[in-house]
């Protein structure tokens, strides 16, 4: 698409929106301005291409399409079939997967589909045995009653939240923590790394139905071959949530033991983050789980979003291009340069560095909580998110860490030299921020002090750093 065409497309879209609700059009334009001017370092965010964005804004949004390709509960879905089949084809080819299901609306939805697919495939209640059925759609009310009774005893073993795991891996605030009896494996207190011997020991003791690999805040590679061997040793289904690092798998930065697809029974992912697509989810699986996975809607999903599946097809097609592999490698190069720059300036990093797209800073070394650091950085034009660190004394709300990632800045074209400058900006803000106190004089985990003049200076420097790398340079809304 030419730059003139991009500008025309988005400018025209905003004119149409403005005629109905100008405040929405203003907010859309303001969001583009904010993203252009901020150093976006949230590890789970990226910038989708104009083609991907435009694929979501069309009349596919008007279609109901429950079911799967060729087996819909609504008539007139032939065009939805086309885009869903294309997205699944691109996903299979990109990841070398036997089967791909592209309907999940989010990563959480993808995980729910995976959990229920495994349960439906593996749970053998007396009622199921008597009825001689295995397909979810064939279960009677009596079957479901027996199944629900047994679900309370199902077990999941996944990475602990403070070690870098995710809420959807069996933790109480999420439905997965209510579906499963969950236990966590952590990391070595000295190194912050996964201790596979301890994972194996926990699996032997706990005997989980599902062993979950994957993370949202672990800055190192994971050996999925070893985890599959552990799962096999206890008869568990091995599931990997690769939402954060899917782009590194797609770009062949993670291969062999570090590519989850050849090793896992079932793999879930988002399609945004490092994959640089629309917000949504996806499930890849071995053939024996395909039928159950394809029942995600109506099992746990609402109607598929055809306009988002169209955008997934576009983004996955982009990821199959040779230049995506170069992009994926630059993500890791930039993350390692950012980690090195921070470490050289005295920042304390969980595991001492990174092998992937993210860096986890323990900001207690600056005398701050994660919440204080997050807000001070935001005041200075640097967008991050607070995150727990292993054995975090401040819990999951205030935290002691800041998680930063490089997918978005790499999309903008920043390189390793700019990562060192970014490290300097982050370090300056954190060293110049002091923890505040509550009204009664006790230390506050939220309040902080940062000279507004310094915050403004850093914000201008961040904008200057981004200036040679404009965001969506082909889009002019003026």
**DSSP for 46-109?**
----HHHHHHHSSGGGG----EETTEESSS--HHHHHHHHHHHHHHHHHHT-SEEE---SSHHH
Closest CA to 147 of 131, 165, 163, 168: 131
Phi, psi values for residue 445, rounded to 5°: -95, -5
Q: How far apart are CA 85 and CA 327, in angstroms?
A: 26
Q: How far apart are CA 452 and CA 447, in angstroms?
A: 15
Distances (CA, A) of 240 to 34, 245, 261: 34, 11, 8
Distances (CA, A) of 392 to 163, 395, 453: 9, 6, 32
Q: Which amino acids are annotated catalytic?
A: 64, 66, 241, 270, 273, 279
Quick check: helix, strand or coil at residue 411? Answer: helix
Q: How far apart are CA 194 and CA 119, in angstroms?
A: 27
CB 197, CB 172: distance < 8 Å: no
How open is the CA angle 433-435-440, to the nearest 5 degrees? 150
CB 98, CB 290: distance < 8 Å: yes
Q: How far apart are CA 438 and CA 260, in angstroms?
A: 47
Burial code of 226-254, b = ≥16 C-beta within 10 A, e = fewer? bbbebbeebebbbbbbbbbbbbbbbbebb
Q: How far apart are CA 128 and CA 134, in angstroms?
A: 7
Q: How far apart are CA 108 and CA 289, in angstroms?
A: 19
The alpha carbons of the chain give a radius of gyration, in whole angstroms, of: 23
CA 464 to chain centre: 29
Quick check: helix, strand or coil at residue 223? Answer: coil
Q: Report which DSSP code applies to 333.
A: H
Q: How far apart are CA 437 and CA 446, in angstroms?
A: 9
Q: How far apart are CA 71 and CA 62, in angstroms?
A: 19
Give the number of C-alpha atoms closer than 13 A to the C-alpha of residue 344, restricted to the C-beta side. Answer: 12
């Amino acid at each position: 698409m030419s730059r003139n065409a991009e500008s025309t497309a988005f400018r025209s879209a905003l004119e149409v929106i403005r005629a109905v609700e100008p405040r929405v059009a203003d907010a859309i334009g303001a969001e583009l301005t904010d993203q252009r001017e901020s150093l976006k370092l949230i590890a789970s965010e990226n910038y989708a291409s104009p083609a991907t964005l435009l694929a979501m804004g069309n009349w596919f949004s008007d279609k109901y399409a429950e079911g799967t390709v060729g087996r819909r509960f609504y008539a007139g879905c032939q065009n939805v079939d086309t885009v869903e089949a294309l997205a699944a084809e691109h996903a299979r080819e990109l990841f070398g997967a036997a089967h791909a299901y592209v309907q999940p609306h989010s990563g959480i939805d993808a995980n729910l589909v995976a959990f229920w697919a495994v349960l439906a495939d593996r749970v053998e209640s007396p009622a199921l045995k008597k009825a001689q059925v295995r397909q979810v759609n064939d279960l009677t009310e009596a079957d479901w009653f027996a199944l629900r009774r047994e679900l309370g005893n199902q077990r999941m073993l996944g990475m602990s939240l403070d070690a870098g795991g995710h809420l959807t891996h069996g933790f109480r605030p999420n439905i997965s923590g209510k579906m499963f009896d969950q236990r966590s494996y952590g990391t070595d207190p000295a190194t912050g790394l996964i201790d596979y011997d301890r994972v194996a020991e926990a699996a032997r003791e706990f005997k989980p139905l599902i062993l979950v690999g994957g993370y949202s805040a672990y800055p190192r590679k994971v050996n999925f071959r070893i985890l599959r061997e552990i799962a096999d040793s206890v008869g568990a289904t091995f599931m990997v949530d690769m939402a954060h690092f899917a782009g590194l798998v797609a770009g062949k930065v993670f291969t062999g033991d570090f590519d989850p697809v050849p090793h896992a029974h079932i793999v879930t992912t988002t399609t945004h983050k490092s994959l640089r697509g629309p917000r949504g989810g996806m499930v890849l699986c071995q053939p024996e789980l395909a039928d159950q996975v394809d029942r995600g809607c109506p099992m746990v999903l609402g109607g598929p979003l055809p306009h988002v599946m169209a955008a997934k097809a576009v983004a996955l097609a982009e990821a199959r291009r040779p230049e995506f592999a170069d992009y994926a490698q630059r993500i890791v190069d930039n993350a390692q340069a950012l980690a090195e720059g921070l470490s050289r300036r005295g920042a304390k990093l969980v595991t001492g560095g990174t092998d992937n797209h993210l860096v986890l800073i323990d900001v207690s070394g600056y005398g701050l909580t994660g919440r204080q650091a997050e807000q001070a950085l935001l005041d200075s034009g640097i967008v991050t998110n607070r995150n727990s660190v292993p054995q975090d004394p401040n819990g999951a709300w205030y935290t002691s860490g800041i998680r930063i990632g490089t997918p978005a800045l790499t999309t903008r074209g920043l390189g390793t030299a700019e990562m060192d400058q970014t490290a300097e900006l982050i370090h300056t803000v954190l060293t110049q921020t002091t923890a505040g106190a509550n009204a009664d004089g006790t230390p506050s985990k939220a309040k902080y002090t940062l000279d507004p003049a310094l915050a403004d200076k850093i914000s201008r420097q961040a904008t200057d750093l981004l200036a040679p790398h404009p965001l969506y340079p082909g889009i002019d809304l003026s």
